[in-house]
Structure 1
Amino acid sequence: MPFGVNLSFCVKRWVTPELWAPLVREDLGLDLVQLSFDLVDPTWPDDLLVSLARDIRQCTDRAGINVHSAFIGLAHYTFNQLLHPDPRVRDVAEVWMRRAYRFAASAGIARVGGPLGAVASRRDGREADTLLRADYEDLIARMHRLADAAKAEGIVELYVEPTPMRREWPWTVDQALTMATDLETSAVPWKFCLDWGHGTFEPLYGRYRAGMADWFAALGVKIGVIHVQQTDFQYDRHWDFTEPGRLDPVATAALQRAHGLGQTPVFLEVFYPFERDDASVLEAVKRSVAILKPAYA
């Protein structure tokens, strides 16, 4: 089973490929990574992006690393993106994604994904179970346009990452299936990135209903990538596997295989406080990889 690491742990630390590529290959013993756009902002000046893309290609080639995909990261995720109440902001988010595709392609990265956006909260704090029809139709239209743009850049696959929030979309299996149907004719396939900390979120799905089995069974081949993290099922923790939690790596890998997803890439995705010292972060990631690799071997 392909196993690698999302470069989220490198943010504000190992921020260039000259730093993270040898670290991933030599310290972690991995040859598969997922780039985070927290390390490169696709709205930076074009001449700088051309140089940074060249650096990624050269450093990963030298280290023998495959950059499977690029993901939105935390910085852009903090914005409401394609579901912002102001359509002008949605337009900006769409342009941001187009530039992300262009950068990824120039860096030799053929796949891009992440969460799509979030609706604004109501003044009374109540959260609706559905998107307004007009907002959903606008989202699907933008996703079709983005697929056209991705194809033009040479991107071969796009990912939607469901999140455990009613303000984002999709957050249920049925919503994901509806979205998949509405995107069947897109120029580039839209698939799903499932995260173990999202599908197991009990405050949203319920103690006895939260879990990944339903997602795996329903979406099947529409799943393009999986994120793994340690979590307590109470929040989207993104802990490493040195922390006590409720995920058993052997069981998570077995469930994935049982649903015919033995060749679907899995990435450890963990985040750390910026003030935590670098040495302990590196040691925790190394220990986590050592725990996970045998399970996904």
Structure 2
Amino acid sequence: MTGERQPIPFGINLSFCVKRWVTPQLWAPLVRERFDLDLVQFSFDLVDPMWPDFILDRHAAALRREAQASGIAVHSAFIGLAHYTFNQLLHPDPAVRDYAEEWLGRAYRFAALAGIPRVGGPLGAIPSRLDGSEADALDAADYDCLIARMHRLGARAAAEGLSELYVEPTPMRREWPWTVAQARQMMTDVADSPVPWRLCPDWGHGTFEPLYGPDHGAMEPWFRDLSDVITAVHIQQTDFLLDRHWDFTVPGKVDPVEAAALLRRTGIAPAPVFLEVFYPFEHDSGSILNALEATSARIRQAFA
């Protein structure tokens, strides 16, 4: 029926699996049976694209096989925390930037073999200054280098048969982009990429008050002004003071019902939303599963 409200696609990023449920034989039953979800975003914390090809090929085949057998769609793959800790495509050493570009190229190869059509994540960070001050913009040479690498990566992704690449904006002046205007400029500057670059905003990033202030509108300006280039979203529970990545059993400022209303109001709602949570390695696995089961049920209900 025309005008009927459609459910918002909801899935989970496999960040919760790090050092725990590290193979598809382990995480697929949890996603499908325990959390009652059929949509995931893979994390490269579970597979290092720089492993030898014979290992990567075996893991890609297993991922494709187990996801299909479990009725799980793997929408995309994100770089994960391990690679994010490096400065990647904005490291001060050009050779490190080259290595990070090759890392992403190999991530594209793995994704293609595993049947994952999209890859993304934050792209890099410039180093801090000795006095601790931070600029409002990247140096022009750094930005131009980043855009050139994004074009090359678009060509590499096209060669692998991928359909989309993602940039995840982060709330840090040393990374790019961290404002709506910067994100728009970046999307304009890579508009002719052989594979389209799109945005995946995170609820804990756009709401970061120490950077943006308490009255900046939180996620609404991101969704409203960039709706044409946003095709996925990360959701987390947070307090707007740090990028918490809590589950929704923890008290915070993100309400799933209000989130769903915002996604629909701004036209983002057809895009999938992925829960992205992280836990200390010493956190017991049983309580994590209980929390994610409750969280998934709560968000599924809000997004229905």
SS in 2 for 1:176: helix
1:221, CA displacement in angstroms? 1.8
SS in 2 for 1:194: coil
1:99, CA displacement in angstroms? 0.1
Question: Residue 287 in 1 paired to residue 294 in 2?
Answer: yes
Instruction: Choose which of 65, 78, 85 in structure 1 pairs with 2:72.
Output: 65
Question: Residue 255 in 1 paired to residue 262 in 2?
Answer: yes
Match of 1:164 in 2: 171
1:95-126 CA-partner distances (Å, limit 9, x unpaired): 00000000000000000000000000000000
1:237-283 CA-partner distances (Å, limit 9, x unpaired): 00000000001100011101101112100000000010011100110
C-alpha root-mean-square deviation of aligned residues, in Å?
0.6
Match of 1:47 in 2: 54
Judge conservation of contact 1:201–1:210 (CA < 8 Å) in 2: no
Question: Residue 11 in 1 paired to residue 18 in 2?
Answer: yes
Instruction: Choose which of 139, 145, 157 in structure 2 pairs with 1:150.
Output: 157
Judge conservation of contact 1:232–1:245 (CA < 8 Å) in 2: yes
Amino acid at match of 2:155: D
What is the percent sequence identity of the aligned residues?
66
SS in 2 for 1:188: coil
Question: Residue 128 in 1 paired to residue 143 in 2?
Answer: no
Amino acid at match of 2:97: R
How far apart, CA to CA, are the structure 2 residues paired with 1:159 and 1:226?
11
Match of 1:227 in 2: 234
1:210, CA displacement in angstroms? 4.7
Match of 1:182 in 2: 189
Amino acid at match of 2:92: P
How far apart, CA to CA, are the structure 1 residues paired with 2:225 and 2:72?
32
How far apart, CA to CA, are the structure 2 residues paired with 1:68 and 1:243?
27
SS in 2 for 1:149: helix
Gaps of 5+ in 2: 1-7
TM normalised by structure 1 equals: 0.99
How far apart, CA to CA, are the structure 2 residues paired with 1:85 and 1:95?
17
SS in 2 for 1:40: coil
Judge conservation of contact 1:202–1:210 (CA < 8 Å) in 2: no
SS in 1 for 2:100: helix
Question: Residue 203 in 1 paired to residue 210 in 2?
Answer: yes
Question: Residue 245 in 1 paired to residue 222 in 2?
Answer: no
How far apart, CA to CA, are the structure 2 residues paired with 1:96 and 1:111?
15
SS in 2 for 1:155: coil
Matches within 5 A, 1:27-106: 27-106=34-113
Match of 2:4 in 1: none
How far apart, CA to CA, are the structure 1 residues paired with 2:125 and 2:266?
30
Gaps of 5+ in 1: none
1:224, CA displacement in angstroms? 1.4
How far apart, CA to CA, are the structure 2 residues paired with 1:241 and 1:210?
22
Match of 2:201 in 1: 194
How far apart, CA to CA, are the structure 1 residues paired with 2:263 and 2:122?
22
1:146-175 CA-partner distances (Å, limit 9, x unpaired): 000000001100000000000000000000
1:296, CA displacement in angstroms? 1.1
Match of 1:296 in 2: 303
Runs of 4+ deviating beyond 6 Å: none
